[in-house]
Amino acid sequence: MNNKQNCGELVEKLKQVQTLNIDFNLKAEKAVSFDTSREWNDEEKALIAEAVKVGEEIEKLIFELEKSIEPISVTATYAHKDWNNVETSETITIDFEKKLEYSVTFYKTHHINLPENFREIMTDIWDRNIDVIQKTIEEQGFDEILLVPGGLSVPVVHAKMSEGYQTTKEWGGFTDGGSFEGVAEKTTGPRIILIHKNNAQNLEDRPELKKTIRETAGSFIQSGQTLTLTDYLIYQRQYFEETGKHLDELTYAWLPGSIVPKPGGGFRVVFADWDGAELDVRADDSGDWHSLLGCRLSRCLI
């Protein structure tokens, strides 16, 4: 059930509970005031029975209300093969409410303006996609979410997510396409991104991600991967602040959701890494590949 779509129904149920509760209290007050030294008459017995019935109705409505509200966390079992090709499984829990509060604080700390209804927007995306989130975790083992507001400027996000770092190194294929100002992104609206965090500092650290190395950007675009430079900049900052380490110190990550124009026509796909003390941002043709270049697999929900 979608909380937003069914809020009218929930309000009506709450009103019923409130009305029944008042009725129950009145009847119960009269019932307990009976003289227990004598046998109750039929009218008093009926009043007691009615109070019990009202109480049961209240319990039923409260139970229905609890079922109507979407969970604020998801727990799923991810069955997969480890590095030794042995079947294993892990239980993954994503606490949406905790991540929402963290995200609000994170963006405020880094002076990124959020819409007043940011919480409501993110909650709506979560509610509408709750089943997809559960299934995707079970199938792909994502253990982290990014809550990304819409309408962000790539140059602004870069400036704020790289504060305190050395100047970002931009390579020719990227600067030829206009640098951060020239980036076009597939997804610009508010979104929740499912991604890997545990054992995923570098793509080689996790079997699912290592398999992506040496693949072309075009193959990831074709398979529906949409991680953008904006998503990556936000995630790399959060990862650093939570772990003290940087993403992709030893590998490079295609960002299939971000492209820059190619002089003379066509486009190049953006990729990034961390090099010593600064971010590196580059762009290559969609058919290119490199020995340490893969993709941070993700799932975008809008």
pLDDT at 63 over 70: no
Question: Is the residue at 112 inside a domain?
Answer: yes
pTM score:
0.79
State how beta strands 191-195 and 298-301 pair. Answer: antiparallel
Question: Is the residue at 12 inside a domain?
Answer: yes
Task: Give the percent of the chain with pLDDT over 90.
Answer: 73
| Per-residue pLDDT at 235 | 98
Tokens 């206009």 label which residue?
Answer: 178
- The domain boundary, picked from 16, 36, 68, lies at 68
Question: How sure is the predictor about 3, in pLDDT bands with cuts at 50, 70 and 90?
Answer: very low
> 288 and 150 in one domain?
yes
> 211 and 163 in one domain?
yes
Q: What is the mean pLDDT of residues 196-201?
A: 97
In angstroms, the Cα distances linking 217 to 140, 226, 244, 288, 293 are 20, 11, 29, 7, 9
| Per-residue pLDDT at 28 | 64
The DSSP symbol for 116 reads T
The DSSP symbol for 69 reads S
> 248 and 121 in one domain?
yes
Question: Which sign, positive or negative, has the C-alpha torsion 246, 250, 256, 261?
Answer: positive
| Per-residue pLDDT at 1 | 40
| Per-residue pLDDT at 179 | 98
Question: Is the residue at 109 inside a domain?
Answer: yes
In angstroms, the Cα distances linking 124 to 151, 218, 263, 295 are 18, 32, 41, 28
**Domain that residue 48 falls in:** 7-68
> 56 and 96 in one domain?
no
> 28 and 150 in one domain?
no
Between helix 229-243 and helix 154-161 the angle, nearest 10°, is 10
> 128 and 48 in one domain?
no
pLDDT at 196 over 80: yes
Three-state secondary structure along 122-166? HHHHHHHCHHHHHHHHHHHCCCEEEEECCCCCHHHHHHHHCCCCC
> 214 and 102 in one domain?
yes
| Per-residue pLDDT at 65 | 66
Here the tokens at position 175 are: 């600067």
Q: For residue 80, what are the β-bridge partners?
A: 88
Q: What is the pLDDT of residues 262-277, one digit of tens each?
A: 999 999 999 999 998 8
Question: Is the residue at 241 inside a domain?
Answer: yes
- What does the alpha-carbon distance between residue 205 and residue 257 come to, in Å, rounded to a whole number? 23
> 141 and 101 in one domain?
yes
- The better pLDDT of the pair 258, 54 is held by 258
> 154 and 294 in one domain?
yes
The set of residues, in sequence order, having a beta carbon less than 8 Å from that of 54 and lying 6+ positions away, is 20, 23, 24, 27
Question: Is the residue at 294 inside a domain?
Answer: yes
pLDDT at 301 over 50: yes
Q: What is the pLDDT of residues 72-96, one digit of tens each?
A: 899 999 998 888 888 999 999 999 9
What is the DSSP code string of 238-289?
A: HHHHHHS--TTSSSEEEEEEEEEEPTTSSEEEEEEEEETTEEEEEEE-TT--
Tokens 């600067």 label which residue?
Answer: 175
Query: Residue 270, class by beta-carbon neighbours within 10 Å (0-12 exposed, 13-18 middle, 19+ buried)?
Result: buried
| Per-residue pLDDT at 30 | 67
| Per-residue pLDDT at 5 | 43
> 181 and 116 in one domain?
yes
Q: How many domains does the chain have?
A: 2
Q: What is the mean pLDDT of residues 146-155?
A: 97
- The domain boundary, picked from 68, 100, 121, lies at 68
> 219 and 108 in one domain?
yes
| Per-residue pLDDT at 55 | 72
CB 186 within 8 A of CB 222: no
Q: What integer best gives the mean pLDDT of the chain?
A: 89
- The domain boundary, picked from 45, 68, 91, lies at 68
pLDDT at 171 over 60: yes
Question: Is the residue at 269 inside a domain?
Answer: yes
| Per-residue pLDDT at 99 | 97
Q: What is the mean pLDDT of residues 69-74?
A: 76
Question: Is the residue at 2 inside a domain?
Answer: no
pLDDT at 143 over 60: yes
- What does the alpha-carbon distance between residue 125 and residue 117 come to, in Å, rounded to a whole number? 13
Phi–psi pair at 230, nearest 5 degrees: -60, -50
Give the rounded distance of the alpha carbon of 109 from its chain centre.
19
> 122 and 17 in one domain?
no
- What does the alpha-carbon distance between residue 76 and residue 87 come to, in Å, rounded to a whole number? 17
Question: Is the residue at 1 inside a domain?
Answer: no
